[in-house]
A and B are shown apart, each in its own frame.
Chain A
Amino acid sequence: MKHIRITTVKQYVTKAERQEDDRLQRQMAPSPFYLILYLIWIAGAAVMGNNILRLSLPLLLTGIAGIWAITGLLWFLYFFHKKIFMVVSLVFGVAAAAAMYPLASASATMGAAAWTNTKEGPVSLLMAVLTAVFLMFLLEFVLRIHAVTFLISAGLITAVPFTDLSFGLWEALALLGCMVGFVVLNMNDRSRQRRFVMKKRGIITSFCVMVTVGLMTIIMLITVGVVDWQQEPLYAQTLRFDDRLHEWLIDNASLLDEDFLSGYLSRGNLHQTGKEKFELSVNAPFYDRLYLREFIGSDYNGQGWDWAELWQEIPLELSDRSPEQHTRYEDSEESEEEDWGWGDEEEEEPYEPTYFVERELFVSPLVYAAQNDYLKEMQDFSDFLKSYRIESLSWLGGSPSMYSSLRGDSFEVKMHRGSIGYDGTGKIAFFLSEDNVVYLLNTTPADTSDYVFEHFSEILDRDPAYVSSVRAIPSKPEVLFNMYSSDYIAEMLYDRTMAMRQAQKEEEQVRSGEALSGAEPDTESPARKLRVKYITDFYGMVIPYYPEFSRSTIAWKMVDDRTAGAEITQASYTVSYLTERDLPGEIDWSGYDAYRNYQQYYQNAIKEQYTNFDPDQTPRLYQLCQDMKLENVNEVTTFILYTLQTHAVYSTSPGNTPIGKDLLEYFLFENGRGYCIHYASTAALMYRMLGVPARFVTGFGVDPAAFGKPTVTQEGDETWYTSTVRDYSAHAWVEIYLEDHGWVPVEVTPTASNTMVAEYPGYDSMEMERIMQKYGWEFRKNAQPQVQSGAGEEGENSSPLITWVSSPYVFIPLCGVLSAAAGIVFLLLRRKRSFRAPVGSSQCRLLFDKLIRMLHDRGHLKEYYGSEVDFILQLSRLSSALSAEETADLVHRLEKITFSTVSETPEDVEAVADYYRRLARSEYDSLPWFRKPMFKYVKAFLPPGA
């Protein structure tokens, strides 16, 4: 069965028809409108990219004008002098290849940027630009592939949030308008209709492009106003969606799990979804923000902060264990992670407690002093000592602290002097320091220079009779080690009585088979306590400031209950701590001279480490701080608060930091928006630059309001208040070192009203006010960021003209003027064009049809179309512009042209045009003045020159 063949292309085209088609094809050259569209696109892309190119305004405008001129020339040559265009293309292609070859080879060796600084560089670069212009012209006008310009526009717009591209209203309209135009053009250029279809489609396409682009422009202007009016609510909606998306991705795809509590500084927005982190229980209400430290940073590396070296592996040579034994206790984050179940599930091993060996630890003298009350209770220890042989020994020990803060092998500490006690079998039993701190040993080394220490559980397994706590005994006199396992938070100033009692109690517990749990120190200490209980996948260890160094045991339930795949659900630990209010106001240093020396050594060490910074990383920040001459830490703090408050506002959605820009400098000097990590990091760097040891810290800042409705439980004599800490409380701050106080937190993140509320011992709002007045500083009143343009040190790219043009409030009137001008030009061109018949059509017929429409529009002869018998009579009666003979002549000419095979002559055209002109003029003159522009320009009834 054969099928009917249907095509839209004629099968056999005669030579004459082909020539006609070619002629029409030539006449189908894009009108200047398309060229203008393309030139606008070039200008928009150039202005947009100039934030990266950083050209001065005159140079930019010259460049744009140059590209426009070249494009216009190519357009003219291609559509009107094709042969010359071919020659020019050939010559240009050869020259471009010859000039760009050295550019390409140089880029491979020395880099394009370096090449442009050489003598040949700019020439080759210019040729590269010209080549790009030529290639784009080929794509757009010769091959009519509009997708490339569309994709470039879309790519530029999409890249705006991640780069330094500017995107003002002008750029948006230029790119968007052209994108829309190119889409419409692309739809039509794809088909290859011939003859009258091509001719007609070109006219329709032009109209459609203009309508679409114009519509888009009007809508864009309206939406700019709407967005400007309701910016924040619109952003808030998007951010809420972003938070939900973020949460979903984390829950379902394990993606974007940002580790806020680490040194990494996010370059985007803050996502907080209220996710639960852990349960926090306290035994006493607190009235100030409770800072719980988790990460402490040392050096800023541009992406974030490095970890402060708080932990260090135990050197193998300091241990008398065999490698196999030592391996068991190696400090390994990876093995710890695997133990936590994050490694290979199939190779799960029983949990092994891990030793962390700290290098120098330090405790605040005030805490130390506060602790001394306990030491006064150790009167009965003398009885204990009587059973041991005491031998004096001068060697170095130390007062271990919760957080080590020192780096460096160069650090040396001379610590306490004390005595070693031996038990009845000759084994070293303990060391009693001068300040009555007891250190207990549980193994017998060969000599005093070689000490061994073992884990509590190991000792119990081997020799339960021994005291089951571990103390730090330095193996080298000049170096202090303090060792504790992951089961312990800290072993510090130790209440020997308490320790013994505690150890015996735990020993009994283990023997009785009870699982170790969060044992609390058996003491009547009034110290505050907080307990952290893990309930989700958060397993960081958060410690408050001023931890009390009584012995605390963290007994992970998982030690006993851990099985493959078991969830760690009840792990918890308890820390005793003090608040600032609990500390004594003054220190009685009598009897603590060694400790005071110790503090001095400590201060010297941290001075070197925690005032470290790289000026090349944040040159503007360095420049800002360099010239400041401030007298003390309070003035430094005030200056930092003043700088932060006047340069930025708090926002959890500051947007993305462009690629290649330093996060902190972009925050402070360009964006002006950020949240706690930005403020804390900037403050930490500024402190260092101004000579104050400072550290960047992340953790949780729990406000008393978070304990608004706690769960109250009674455990023995103690009342515990429990509340769940969520990710809302995750926070970053800076801590500075204060003499006699140690590391104290400084809150540098403003409140919602952009108010600074930093306080620490010796500094409060009154002190801040005094210093502000001294230097004449003033906080900003409004909460808007002082956003600066993208100008760099050498930047002159953001010229006033571009900024002005990009401003929507200035652009709207400008756009109005341009639109009006464009509208006028359009009407004039349209009017002129409406009196020109398309090729192949009759000019007389066009004029006659226009005449009929004009009459109908004016309300005359609405039932006549020119072929009626009495049309001549009616028309001649209607207007005095034409006599009856002239009207008859007009109609007869039209009849001849329409119904006979005779084509119109120039005389016909001239006569009909004259008749039309006179009639139109007559109608125009009869109109009131306010209707004349409509008749003449909008409806285009009056011909040009009439």
Chain B
Amino acid sequence: MKLITVLLMLALTWYLAGTNRQPVMMALAFAGAALMVIMLIFSQYIRFRIHAEIPSQPNIARKNTQTSFTLHTRNTSRLPVNRFRLTFSMQYTTERFFSATRRLNGSCAGRRGDRDNDSLFYFTAPYCGVIRLKLKWLKVYDYLMVFSASKKIKNVSEEILVLPEPKEMRLDMPPFGYYTAEPISPETSDRPGDDHSEIRLVREYRDGDLIRHLHRNYSARTEKLWIKEFQHENDYIFDFLLDTSGTKRLNAAQWDAFYELISSVMYSLLREEVILRVFWVDQKRGGLRLFELSSREDIDRLMTELYRSDTACTPDEWATFTGDMARSGMRINTNLEWFFLEKPVHRFQVKNIEKQLMTEYFIIGR
């Protein structure tokens, strides 16, 4: 529309100039036309000189929390770009149709100002899961914004892991010694190293730690003091199975509920000072995976690993991988059913799951 208006104005100027013998107006019309041609060439020239990318940055976000991201545009020409429009989309990897597409308008300095060509945007993810941030189109305008040239951006995307916010449920746990842990097979262990049955973890020295618990070897190598923390004999060890079998393809809301439930249960169980051994099927690794949780920080790492796993499996595969493990632990499936020793604890609804998690009281194993 703008181009048509400009061309009409130039044509009118030329017409008035010619029919009224106004040399300066005629020059004006031709100058305007020449400028339009230059702007057209400029827009095409810049199209090949400007690139967009996603700079490496932490790709973790919290659900329902505004998170910032920068998109970097690089202009390899000497001339700055007064205005460009970057179209990108954010979509949950579990969704095929619902995506959020936005256009980011910005300016881009010339080659010397390369470092400053960052565009900031904020997003708020409504569900837990993996979001793919994908750059789609880059459109550049000339200085007068009459002409534009666009190009498709290929293969520039980044995954953002949206983790649930820490929530703790109200649990009534069974007394100590209610069950014991099975030994962990070395092949599926995520923690190579010393005897796991004795040493629980190695951490930095704190005031009050016993010198005899110093991990001398590691301390000597790193020039810092490290302490071996041993397994308590009366530690709770929960086997926790994440049952992703036998379900049809879930949407983002359903996966979000699943992850919220897992996360909340983890936080709640860890509050009770238990050690969790979380198992799930990961087709990428060809079988059952184990992740041992002993602190709240581990939960984020667990979720990260879970997001990156291929958890799809059939009920038969699940049974093959897990055997009777569920009988001696907790199990949550993608239908939001929670079992303890294969006895149902609760069945959650996708809708308002957070409210359910925060308001209800759950009794385990009674």
| Interface residues of A, Cβ cutoff 8 Å to B | 1-12, 154, 157-158, 160-161, 167-169, 171-172, 176, 180, 183-184, 187-188, 191, 193, 196-197, 200-201, 203-205, 207-209, 211-212, 215-216, 219-220, 222-224, 226-228, 231, 234-235, 237-239, 241-242, 268-269, 653-656, 673, 808, 853
Most-contacted residue by chain A among B80, B102, B110 (CB, 10 A) = B80
Chain A residues near B363: list those with CB within 8 A.
Answer: none
- Identify which of A11, A161, A171, A184 contacts B82 (C-beta below 8 A): A184
Cα distance, A713 to B83, chains bound together (Å): 75
Cα distance, A499 to B20, chains bound together (Å): 56
Convert B97-124 into 0s and 1s, putting 1 for each residue whose CB lies closer than 8 angstroms to a CB of A: 0111010111111101100101111111
Chain A residues near B23: list those with CB within 8 A.
Answer: 224, 227-228, 231, 808
- Identify which of B9, B80, B109, B143 contacts A154 (C-beta below 8 A): B9
**In residues 2-28 of chain B, which contact A (Cβ within 8 Å)?**
9, 12-28
Task: Let me know if B242 is at the binding interface, CB within 8 A.
Answer: no
Identity of the chain A residue whose Cβ is nearest the Cβ of B104 in the assembled complex: A8
- Identify which of B107, B108, B145 contacts A205 (C-beta below 8 A): B107
A3→B18 contact, CB < 8 A:
no
21 CB-based A-B contacts, threshold 8 Å? A8-B122, A11-B122, A157-B25, A161-B16, A161-B20, A161-B25, A167-B25, A168-B24, A188-B82, A188-B83, A196-B116, A197-B107, A211-B79, A212-B143, A212-B144, A219-B34, A223-B28, A227-B30, A234-B18, A235-B18, A268-B19
Task: Let me know if B211 is at the binding interface, CB within 8 A.
Answer: no
CB distance from B123 to the nearest CB of A (A): 5
- Identify which of A5, A193, A226 contacts B123 (C-beta below 8 A): A5
Identity of the chain A residue whose Cβ is nearest the Cβ of B28 in the assembled complex: A172
Cα distance, A219 to B36, chains bound together (Å): 11
Query: If A7-B122, A212-B143, A215-B38 touch, does A235 touch B82 (CB 8 Å cutoff)?
Result: no
Query: If A1-B253, A8-B120, A237-B18 touch, does A172 touch B27 (CB 8 Å cutoff)?
Result: yes
- Identify which of B82, B122, B131, B252 contacts A208 (C-beta below 8 A): B82
Q: With contacts defined as CB atoms under 8 Å apart, how many contacts are there between chain A and chain B in the complex?
A: 188
A1→B68 contact, CB < 8 A:
no
Identity of the chain A residue whose Cβ is nearest the Cβ of B124 in the assembled complex: A5
A220→B100 contact, CB < 8 A:
no
Task: Let me know if B315 is at the binding interface, CB within 8 A.
Answer: no
Chain A residues near B110: list those with CB within 8 A.
Answer: 207
A216→B31 contact, CB < 8 A:
yes
- Identify which of A8, A167, A183, A211 contacts B121 (C-beta below 8 A): A8
| Interface residues of B, Cβ cutoff 8 Å to A | 9, 12-28, 30-31, 34-35, 38, 66, 68, 79-83, 90-92, 98-100, 102, 104-110, 112-113, 116, 118-127, 131, 143-145, 251-253
A203→B109 contact, CB < 8 A:
yes
A158→B16 contact, CB < 8 A:
yes
CB distance from A652 to the nearest CB of B (A): 11
Chain A residues near B9: list those with CB within 8 A.
Answer: 154
* New contact pairs (14) apart from A201-B106, A241-B15, A673-B21, CB-CB < 8 Å: A1-B253, A4-B92, A4-B125, A6-B123, A180-B144, A184-B143, A193-B106, A197-B106, A197-B107, A224-B23, A224-B27, A227-B26, A227-B27, A655-B19
- Identify which of B98, B104, B119, B143 contacts A211 (C-beta below 8 A): B143
Cα distance, A231 to B27, chains bound together (Å): 10
Identity of the chain A residue whose Cβ is nearest the Cβ of B102 in the assembled complex: A6
Query: If A161-B22, A183-B144, A205-B82 touch, does A6 touch B122 (CB 8 Å cutoff)?
Result: yes
B252→A1 contact, CB < 8 A:
yes
Query: If A2-B253, A8-B121, A238-B15 touch, does A653 touch B21 (CB 8 Å cutoff)?
Result: yes
CB distance from A284 to the nearest CB of B (A): 42
Query: If A161-B19, A191-B105 touch, does A220 touch B80 (CB 8 Å cutoff)?
Result: no
Query: If A167-B25, A211-B143 touch, does A4 touch B20 (CB 8 Å cutoff)?
Result: no
Cα distance, A242 to B113, chains bound together (Å): 50
Chain B residues near A207: list those with CB within 8 A.
Answer: 80, 110
B68→A3 contact, CB < 8 A:
no
Chain B residues near A655: list those with CB within 8 A.
Answer: 19-22
Chain B residues near A853: list those with CB within 8 A.
Answer: 112
B12→A158 contact, CB < 8 A:
yes
Query: If A7-B121, A226-B30 touch, does A204 touch B24 (CB 8 Å cutoff)?
Result: no
- Identify which of B31, B106, B109, B126 contacts A2 (C-beta below 8 A): B126
Identity of the chain A residue whose Cβ is nearest the Cβ of B109 in the assembled complex: A204
Cα distance, A2 to B82, chains bound together (Å): 35
Query: If A187-B82, A238-B15 touch, does A3 touch B100 (CB 8 Å cutoff)?
Result: yes
A239→B18 contact, CB < 8 A:
yes
A176→B80 contact, CB < 8 A:
no
Cα distance, A228 to B27, chains bound together (Å): 9
Chain B residues near A654: list those with CB within 8 A.
Answer: 21
Cα distance, A171 to B25, chains bound together (Å): 11
Identity of the chain A residue whose Cβ is nearest the Cβ of B16 in the assembled complex: A161
Query: If A3-B98, A172-B28, A204-B109 touch, does A157 touch B13 (CB 8 Å cutoff)?
Result: yes
Cα distance, A656 to B22, chains bound together (Å): 11
- Identify which of A4, A9, A201 contacts B90 (C-beta below 8 A): A4
CB distance from A732 to the nearest CB of B (A): 21
B28→A157 contact, CB < 8 A:
yes
Chain B residues near A172: list those with CB within 8 A.
Answer: 24-25, 27-28
- Identify which of A2, A157, A187, A269 contacts B127 (C-beta below 8 A): A2
- Identify which of B12, B19, B145 contacts A269 (C-beta below 8 A): B19
CB distance from B56 to the nearest CB of A (A): 17
Chain B residues near A211: list those with CB within 8 A.
Answer: 79, 143
- Identify which of A4, A201, A234 contacts B124 (C-beta below 8 A): A4
Cα distance, A219 to B34, chains bound together (Å): 7
Cα distance, A853 to B91, chains bound together (Å): 41
Cα distance, A887 to B296, chains bound together (Å): 48
A223→B34 contact, CB < 8 A:
yes
- Identify which of A5, A11, A183, A242 contacts B19 (C-beta below 8 A): A242
Cα distance, A445 to B80, chains bound together (Å): 100
CB distance from B244 to the nearest CB of A (A): 21
Identity of the chain A residue whose Cβ is nearest the Cβ of B110 in the assembled complex: A207
Chain B residues near A154: list those with CB within 8 A.
Answer: 9
CB distance from B66 to the nearest CB of A (A): 5
Identity of the chain A residue whose Cβ is nearest the Cβ of B146 in the assembled complex: A183
A184→B21 contact, CB < 8 A:
no
Query: If A1-B252, A2-B253, A12-B66 touch, does A223 touch B30 (CB 8 Å cutoff)?
Result: yes
CB distance from A938 to the nearest CB of B (A): 13
A238→B19 contact, CB < 8 A:
yes
Chain A residues near B104: list those with CB within 8 A.
Answer: 8
CB distance from A153 to the nearest CB of B (A): 11
Chain B residues near A187: list those with CB within 8 A.
Answer: 82-83, 145
Chain B residues near A183: list those with CB within 8 A.
Answer: 144-145
Closest 10 CB pairs of A and B: A238-B18, A655-B20, A2-B126, A161-B20, A4-B100, A208-B82, A223-B27, A223-B30, A204-B107, A220-B31
CB distance from A94 to the nearest CB of B (A): 40
CB distance from B315 to the nearest CB of A (A): 28
Query: If A5-B100, A11-B122, A204-B82 touch, does A234 touch B143 (CB 8 Å cutoff)?
Result: no
Chain A residues near B112: list those with CB within 8 A.
Answer: 853
Cα distance, A201 to B12, chains bound together (Å): 34
B27→A10 contact, CB < 8 A:
no
Cα distance, A460 to B10, chains bound together (Å): 67
A208→B80 contact, CB < 8 A:
yes
- Identify which of B16, B66, B107 contacts A160 (C-beta below 8 A): B16
Chain B residues near A234: list those with CB within 8 A.
Answer: 18, 26
Cα distance, A2 to B90, chains bound together (Å): 13
Chain B residues near A167: list those with CB within 8 A.
Answer: 22, 24-25
Chain A residues near B66: list those with CB within 8 A.
Answer: 10-12
CB distance from A753 to the nearest CB of B (A): 20
Cα distance, A945 to B106, chains bound together (Å): 36
Most-contacted residue by chain A among B27, B105, B110, B119 (CB, 10 A) = B27
Query: If A204-B80, A654-B21 touch, does A6 touch B121 (CB 8 Å cutoff)?
Result: yes
Cα distance, A168 to B27, chains bound together (Å): 11
Cα distance, A223 to B32, chains bound together (Å): 10
